[in-house]
Copies of this chain bind each other. A is one copy, B any other.
Amino acid sequence: MTHTTGAAEDYLKTIYAHTEWQTDLITPSALAVRLGVAPSSVTEMVKKLAASGLITHVPYGPLALTDAGRLRATAVVRRHRLIETWLVGEMGYDWDQVHDEAEILEHSISDRLLEAINARLGFPAHDPHGDPIPAADGTVLRPPAVLLADATVGHRAAVLRISDRDPSVLRELAADLIGPGTEFTLSAPLTIVLADGQSRLVTPAAAASIWVTA
């Protein structure tokens, strides 16, 4: 229907990402910060996206995706995560190195190539950070998750996903052999005990990036 250029795709993706693990709606200024653009640029794009029926927006209010917008957004996220999975699985990238490359390729790869990659990977359900890969129809399988920083002491759980927003957190965790699937018990704030009995101290930044089973 609508053309949806690369820039517009980034707006939709970012609006979607904000509500993927939280419930509150994103504000224009928060969107501007995430995208690294001026607030006035957001106002402009928001007008276009609303006119195309991809988001809803009351003046001076927050932003929400429509069903059509969510479909576009998940399509972009699907591309992004499949590309990340491919870069790690086949092209020798580490999980802290894939974000920027995927950020660009997600806007230029064709559906055909994407599906060829998907097939080669065996139709993965999660990307290297544990994030679910949306299906082609936009459905996303997302288990209930809690931020490690919000988990109660004594909680026994497994790592579900780690936000890829901060590469240094990813490198730090990789060095500690902590990744999606890692089982642990929270023995004290910021302290986890792994299955083999070893304990690890996690930084506040990491605890705010790690989502674990409820």
A interface, CB within 8 angstroms of B: 87, 91-93, 100-101, 104-105, 107-110, 112-113, 116-117, 120
Given contacts A107-B108, A108-B107, A108-B108, contact A116 B101 (CB under 8 A): no
Distance between A108 CB and nearest chain B CB, rounded to angstroms:
5
Identical copies in the complex:
2
Alpha-carbon distance A93/B116, docked complex (angstroms): 9
Alpha-carbon distance A116/B117, docked complex (angstroms): 16
Cβ contact of A108, chosen from B91, B104, B110, B116, cutoff 8 A = B104
**CB-CB < 8 A to A105: which residues of B?**
105, 108-109
Distance between A130 CB and nearest chain B CB, rounded to angstroms:
23
Given contacts A108-B107, A108-B108, contact A101 B87 (CB under 8 A): no
Distance between A139 CB and nearest chain B CB, rounded to angstroms:
26
Distance between A86 CB and nearest chain B CB, rounded to angstroms:
10
Distance between A189 CB and nearest chain B CB, rounded to angstroms:
39
**CB-CB < 8 A to A101: which residues of B?**
110, 112-113
Is there an interface contact between A91 and B107, defined as CB atoms closer than 8 Å? no
**CB-CB < 8 A to A104: which residues of B?**
108, 110
Alpha-carbon distance A100/B110, docked complex (angstroms): 10
17 contacts between A and B (CB under 8 A): A87-B113, A91-B113, A91-B116, A91-B117, A92-B116, A93-B116, A100-B110, A101-B110, A101-B112, A101-B113, A104-B108, A104-B110, A105-B105, A105-B108, A105-B109, A107-B108, A108-B108
